[in-house]
Amino acid sequence: MPTESQSPYLPFGENKNASWYGKDILSVKQFNRADLEYIFGVAHEMRGMVERIGTFDLLKGKILANLFYEPSTRTSSSFTAAMERLGGSVIPINEVKYSSVTKGESLTDTVRTLECYADVIVLRHPETGSAAIAAKAAKKPVINAGDGIGEHPTQALLDTFTIMEELGRLDNLTVTMLGDLKYGRTVHSLARLLSLFKVKLNYVSPDILRMPKEVMDEVAAKGIPQAEYSTLEKVLPETDVLYVTRVQKERFEDPAEYEKVKGAYVIDPEIMKAAKQEMIVMHPLPRVTEISMDFDDDPRAAYFRQMEYGLYVRMALLAMVLGKA
Ligand code: CP
């Protein structure tokens, strides 16, 4: 579990950036380095507050609508926990099948309904671009909690916060992304966000699950070195952050294609003998078989700590868009 420490970031109240009050959070393309420093500063303060007093009233009286059209454990429950830790409350719509969506109500009508009752809407939806459509319809801030195979910006923010808290820097790192890079929205957002820093990105995947050209082109335009591999062997020894992803069965149109690649990579203690001691293994979770449970007790296994960092980042984002940070 992370321990409280002196904040290496800007404290509350010293932000010279544009205000985030009332803004949507739809894509990592919205953020620059100064924004990240600010978010990490607020998240670090949130961590200290949770460790010291648990729950406090920064967002007392505010309401979050948590609208999930796809399954979620971490994103949904961490936004709920974040709002409740800040003294606010939550309208949970985690199973749209029990809402009027099943009667044919459109996404835009659903969002316009929820903003009558809530101050901020968190949306997960299976279609790329859905968060932007919802944001256009809504006057209240919309936070993208994953739009199909598009983006998962709050995940990338918590991923970069995890790297900062664990390794103390985002520059001069070799980050290796492993697994389903085609359908994995977390890696699409993370590669884009890391391109703000001096990093080297390695992509290891089966041929049919390679990082999309569109993402690689955007990252290349920032001057970031990138390389693609089909096996981990060559790049593991130089890796500072190994970001493992699940091969997502639910995204495959042809089940036979999934069967061909489902067990392509498994991280276990034996394989990790070739890695540095000063590095971390991350995963957005859920995992299936791609990281052996035998590795969980290794200090380099950061994926459970990563989830906890997500709480603090989501507390920071809610406070920011509701004008309290
Ligand atoms: N990392 C992530 O998005 O997990 P959930 O699908 O459980 O929200």
Question: Is residue 8 a part of any domain in this protein?
Answer: no
Residue 1 has pLDDT above 60, yes or no: no
**Sign of the alpha-carbon torsion through 122, 126, 132, 138:** negative
Query: How far does residue 8's CA lie from ligand 1's centre (Å)?
Result: 28
Domain assignment present for 23:
no
Q: What is the mean pLDDT of residues 32-51?
A: 96
Residue 10 falls within a domain, yes or no? Answer: no
Residues 137, 230, single domain; the answer is no
Q: Could you tell me if 45 and 136 lie in one domain? A: yes
pLDDT in tens, 127-155: 999 999 999 999 999 999 999 999 999 99
d(CA 6, CA 14): 16
Segment 265-281 mean pLDDT: 98
- Asked if residue 180 and residue 215 are part of one domain, the reply reads yes
The DSSP string of 90-106 is EEEE--GGGSGGGGT--
Domain hosting 39: range is: 28-152+308-321
Residue 6 has pLDDT above 60, yes or no: no
pLDDT digits (tens, 9 = 90+) for 301-314: 999 999 999 999 99
73 pLDDT tier (thresholds 50, 70, 90):
very high
Domain count, the chain: 2
User: Do both 118 and 220 map to the same domain?
Assistant: no
Average pLDDT over all residues of the chain: 93
Which has more pLDDT, 222 or 94?
222
Using the mean position of ligand 1's atoms as its centre, give its distance from the Cα of residue 171 in Å.
26
73 close to ligand 1 (CB < 6 Angstrom): yes
Distance 207 CA to ligand 1 centre (A): 25
Do 254 and 314 lie in one domain? The reply is no
Is 244 part of any domain? yes
* Closest residue to atom 1 of ligand 1, CA basis: 284
Calculate what percentage of the chain has a pLDDT beyond 70. 94
The one catalytic residue in 47, 85, 152, 185 is 152
Segment 228-255, tens digit of pLDDT: 999 999 999 999 999 999 998 777 878 8
Rounded (5°) CA angle 303-309-312? 160
Task: Please give the pLDDT value at position 13.
Answer: 42
Per-residue pLDDT at 10 exceeds 70: no
Q: Does the residue 261 lie in any domain?
A: yes
208 and 294 housed in the same domain = yes
Compute the distance between CA of residue 126 and CA of residue 167 in angstroms, rounded to an integer. 33
Q: Are residues 95 and 162 in the same domain?
A: no
Residue 16, pLDDT above cutoff 60: no
Does 141 lie in the same domain as 54?
Answer: yes
74 lines ligand 1 (CB under 6 A): yes
Asked whether residue 160 falls in the same domain as residue 255, the answer is: yes
Per-residue confidence band for 11, with pLDDT thresholds at 50, 70 and 90: very low
pLDDT of residue 8: 64
Q: Please name the amino acid found at residue 228.
A: E
Q: Write out the two tokens for 76.
A: 């949904």
In this structure, are 83 and 197 located in the same domain?
Answer: no
User: What ligand 1 atom has the least distance to the C-alpha of 146?
Assistant: 3
- Does residue 7 belong to any structural domain of this protein? no
In this predicted structure, what is the pLDDT of residue 257?
Answer: 83
Mean pLDDT lowest among 61-65, 181-185, 222-226, 309-313: 181-185
For residue 117, the domain's CATH number is: 3.40.50.1370
Task: Assess whether the C-beta atom of 200 lies below 6 angstroms from ligand 1.
Answer: no
> Is residue 132 lining ligand 1, measured as CB closer than 6 Å?
no
The pick from 68, 74, 248 for probing ligand 1's pocket by mutation, whose C-beta has the most ligand atoms within 8 angstroms, reads: 74
Among 81-90, 155-164, 223-232, 260-269, the least confident range: 260-269
Q: Span 59-80, mean pLDDT?
A: 96
Q: Same structural domain for residues 119 and 164?
A: no
- Structural domain includes residue 19: no
Q: By C-alpha distance, which of 177, 193, 191, 186 is closest to 72? A: 186
- pLDDT, mean of residues 190-201: 98
| 264 in the same domain as 239 | yes
- What would the two tokens of residue 265 be? 């990579």
The response to whether residue 150 sits with its C-beta less than 6 Å from ligand 1 reads: no
Is residue 16 a part of any domain in this protein? no
Catalytic (active site) residue 124: yes
Give CA–CA dist 177/187, Å, rounded: 7
Cα–Cα distance measured from residue 44 to residue 120, given in angstroms and rounded to the nearest whole number: 22
- In this model, does residue 12 exceed pLDDT 50? no
Residue 96: the pLDDT is 78
DSSP 57-95: -TTTT-EEEEEESS--SHHHHHHHHHHHHTT-EEEEE--
